[in-house]
Structure 1
Amino acid sequence: MFMDGIMNICATTRLYKRKNEKGEIVYVKEPVWNWVVANITLMALGTSSPEIMLSLVEALLTLGKPAGELGPSCIAGSAAYNFLVISAVCTTALPNGQFKKISQLRVYVVTATWSIWAYVWMLVVYVWWTPDEVTLAEAFLTLGFFVLMVLSAWIVDKQPWKKNNRIVSNSDPEAPSEQPGVTAIVVSPSAAEQDSGALAPGEAPVKTHAHYRHILAARQRHAAAAQRKLQGGGGEGGEGDLMLVSGQGFGDDAMLRADPTKEQVMFRSRAYAFLESAGTVRVAVTRVAPEGGSLDHPLRVHYKTEDGDAVAGLDYEAREGTLHFAPGEAYKYVEVRIIDDDMTEPDVHFSIVLTGADAPNGGAGKEVLVVQDRVRITIVDDDDAGVIGFELPEYEVAFNEKRSYAEVTLVRRRGADGRVTVEYETQDLTAVAGDDYVAAKGTVVFESGEKSARVRLQLLQSFVPEAHKALQLVLRNPEGGAELGKRAACKVTLVRRQFTLMPAGAAGAKEGLELGKGSIKLAAADGADDGAGSEGEGEFNLWSAWREQIVSVFSPDEPDEGEKVSWAGLILQYINITWKLLLFLLVPPAEWRGGYPCFFAALGAIVGIVYLVNEAGSLFGCIIGLKEVMVGVSIVAVGTSLPDTLASRIAAVKDPDADAAIGNITGSNGVNVFLGLGLPWAVCSVYYHLRGEKYVTPGGDLEFAVMLYAVLGGCGIVILAVARYFGGELGGSKVRQYSIAALLVLLWLLYLILSGLRAYGDI
């Protein structure tokens, strides 16, 4: 629930006033939270809240008593485990031969530096400045370092000293759209580096531990949405005729960094694909003003086509000519006619090449740089009968407590020639035909040229959303020459929501109502479906959502597609049922008020749980005769970091880079000290200062553990830096992976052994 609250907060967007390249004021939609700031503030509270709260609660409980060591030692132990063991787990998670690097290297270097300084600072406080005492100055300096860490990371990400720190993506609000339905936004260079595709409205460019812990809890809700973006078109209205295959147009930061002092000319994307039946296609060429300059002069850009597999005269008509940009004009189009035929043939490609650019009449002497001189055009054959499958592998349907239906989309790809049919049938998973929905079986017909169709599933009024229920829709027996694709089955989950969802881009659709696994429109069964929905349908009902949240406690989570609820899952469900019921009663739904009430209520619940952890840890240490500092650096530290271990491993496997898997660990370690110690130090130092006393915190064995981590953590950074030089921080051959992992784990074991020897006076 805490993670749900954070994700809702970070997903908040708002309209900002910006200037486009023509100097005109435009309003663009951007995330409220910068991804770096969210990483180090909100997300750190999510991933590190147990350690931070443990230290704070212990400090509050020991006011007027000798300071405890469990909280600080847990922070030191968690840092060692996080950086050394989690990095080892991540590097062995990749397939043999695959490498992954940290893409946001500037931010990583800053946070890694702060993470090492954080533990050096602990030594300064405990040993060198005021030994065995924490003063007001030291406490508030520690909190100040947290602010400085956030500020410095934000600065290296945003690079505000650069004039063109806002760049327009390939869906510029001022640019004519090459694709119907493309939503205009503006993104920063950091966002472009963070994602290989353009951001959709409402998406925050945040890739963090909390994001992947949220995936663990929410059963990977966003995976299908990502696949949908990569699939390109395929919907109605000709959306399948054009696919941006790769590149991000203006979002390609490396391209824009070529020489920002010169005017630049480029294609808006690096590759396109058009259906053979598209007729005349248009490919955009754009010009970008130099830093401090303008587009107040004319420009000529020369182009020609070149054969690849496609042959001019057979597959397309050759073109050669010049684009004439008027003063202030940023876009021109190269038009090429595709030759359609009735033969089934493989996809072929040709290229459009920019052969030069010059600025005549008023622009003489101005240097123009062609930063991308070639674009690959793929002609997709549509004379085949095609491959039929579901648009998405999984859908989530928000039930609206009325007799309603859901529509699931089938798509026909790789050709649309001729009339074809395919049979479909519903199958029970946890939803039961006759109780939750009406069983359906029938045939879908695609006429020649048709690329999509819909299957309507009737939901029954008797369905009460006590828990997520799921059914499966299966395709079989294609006829007419078509084949079944990989998505011959899809899972439809009935979820506990009161929203009415509409397809993205539909008239009247309210932002924020599109779930991660595709959009399904729900409408009343009386047939009064106007395609737009009413104004009141999307309103959030707090009490209904809270009631559903509480009712869901008594049912286990839905298993993944093709899996069954395990006995272990059922046992854990009913072991935890008391805790879940208590938390769901106290914590409001994450969708309410942008997630802030859920965030703070869950934070309060964590404080209560951490109090119990503190008492249990101390009691356990007494029972087995283990010193408190060793309980903190080992058992408690590992226990509080296990969720991060699972989240990081998922990030290592699923993410295209190593940022979420490794890059966030260093920032989290710094936050552990600056907040996990800064907050209790500030509270206790003020308390004792008002009483005219000193806040005594004996360093004892802890100072050795901190110094040891500072040394071993530095060794870990060097190991990852060397690994990056030879391919990437993560991955490589299996021999390399396990060698690096073994070395990192050995460093952690060395940390535990030496800390234990020191604690018991053997060294």
Structure 2
Amino acid sequence: MKRIIFFIFLISLISPATSVDLAEEVELNRTCTPAKPCAPGLILPVWQPQIGLTTGDVIFRAAIYLIALFYLFLGVSIVADRFMAAIEVITSQETEVTLKKPTGEPYTILVRVWNETVSNLTLMALGSSAPEILLSIIEIFGNNFEAGELGPGTIVGSAAYNLFIIIAICILVIPDGEVRRIARNDVFWVTVIWSTFAYIWLYLILGVISPNVVEAWEGILTFAFFFLTVINAYIANRYFPSLGTRYLKGKAVTSYTSRTATYSNKGGEVRLENGDGTPAEQTDSLIHTIQDPDVLAFEEHKQLFWDTFTKIRAEHPDLDIKEVGKLTAWQALAKMPKSRAVRRVQAIRKLTAGVPLFREFDQKAEDIIEPLVPEKETKITVSFSPSQYICMENIEKVFIQVEVDRGSIQEPTIVTVHYKTIEDSAKAGADYEPIQGIITFLPHEINENFKNILNKDLTVLSVPIQIIDNEKYETDQKFHVHIYQAKAVSANDADKEYPATVGVASDATIIIVDDDHAGAFSFASEVFKVTENIGTFKLKVNRTRGARGDVNIPYTITEGTAKLGIDMEAATSGTLHFKDGVTSMDIPIKIINDDKYEKAEDFYVFLGDPIWQNSNQKGENEADGKPILGAHVRAKIIVTEDQEFKRLKLKNR
């Protein structure tokens, strides 16, 4: 090949025999003109002569130059790929981090050493743009370190290609019925602003400030802008996760923000009138019209609880429902502003009081704000405690607790309050059995289960609500129970009434978690440590959130420092067949004990996309109910030395 290229190069040096005069030569010189001269390149010289060329000469020379250009591009791509691979090794470095679940159970995950945003904007960007950078460097050397046409062209061309072509392809390949969203709007907006500014700045320095000349201060300032971009993106990523969220009157505008509805209070019952949207949207809109600060704080926290719950469910689909509930309560407290502390903590206490799952959480809130609690009221108050409930669809019945606080009234009283269920995303008759009635509190009727957590002036009764379990997948839904028309009379004199009212927590929200999902598949952790003498290690794959239908989970095993056939025996790939109702299966991996001293070695197991065997079932939202992967889809197995062999070796020294 080298001889052929050298032979072609020698042929190119031979001048073709021509008998045209100078005028004809100038006329035939169509390839190089004073306006567009032919200059020698850094590697390839100008192919002489440049005058008197026939059409065949032009085609032949163009073919040779094209082959040489492709050859050089191939070399640039090889160098760029090696460079990118080296950067990938650097940015993919990971470290083990041990975390705790809300239940206190520890688990290990692998966390990248490099911040994802910083690595994408620095080393990853440098590696992916290596071809353009190398071509620009070649041009600079060829132009005696003066700016040429290729430099700005590579910037604009590469950015335009990324913006139009790559984004267009990414949009086109999304399967029908599925949605992709930008994961981090904070970093997105920072990069959008800086990218737009980069085009403007490039135009200013090349076309306005110093036309066709890049001065030293412009280059230094442009380089400084790069670091400002990275710093801004890092700050947005770490400290401003809500960047890009609009705020209206101090309340974040999200997908739950509703249209305005009006309300009336007739006979102690709140009614929604002239409201658009679902009952939940209308209820949320009342936040902007209710003037009572206690009610306002409670409504804000009720919405915060639901938003936090749905966010956690979306981010951790395989998390146990009890852990989701506890994590929701803790995050709701963490998001609570420190201003208006008394009202807000009282609202949180209404959300969580009396629930064993949240008892520790409620105690912290009580310890913080106990000195600020006012004296007992001289009226009787009826409210829900707690006012947020999370239950599985197959629970059959959920018990909603209503409490009465008789305040400073010492005389025995009988308290009544009306209650009824209200639809939201959960529908009466389809998701739960609607009920309505009257609750009657007799004097000093204390539930035995609550003696240790309620003071002697409180009475708690439960309202059972039937939950309907169907065999169809649905998203998590909610409905409400509303209490109204509280009334209190003396137990000794029915004609003697006491002031009674419904408290701030006049509505209880019941969240129904669907149990008909096909499942979320993941490992229990991302790191497992085993010894060489374990024999066969069984790596468990868990199926949570649901177990409906038959699902196949493909998996692959890749080598790390541990090698197949030497340190372990297993198929490099396989499939787990989860039958309907099966919640866990094992991947068997035989660990070879070679009785040799070796450092800890590792290999990896990856889970592939689930294959749903029941995907032919129609009439269901397959895009939401289909099986998914959970939090831990990659497992790193670390094989350590046999401890018995190690002790024996040390003993023989």
TM-score over 0.5 for the pair: no
Output the TM-score relative to the length of structure 1.
0.34
Q: Which of the pair is proportionally richer in strand?
A: 2
Which has more radius of gyration?
Answer: 2
Q: Which has the higher contact order (CA 8 A, sep 6+)?
A: 1
Output the TM-score relative to the length of structure 2.
0.38
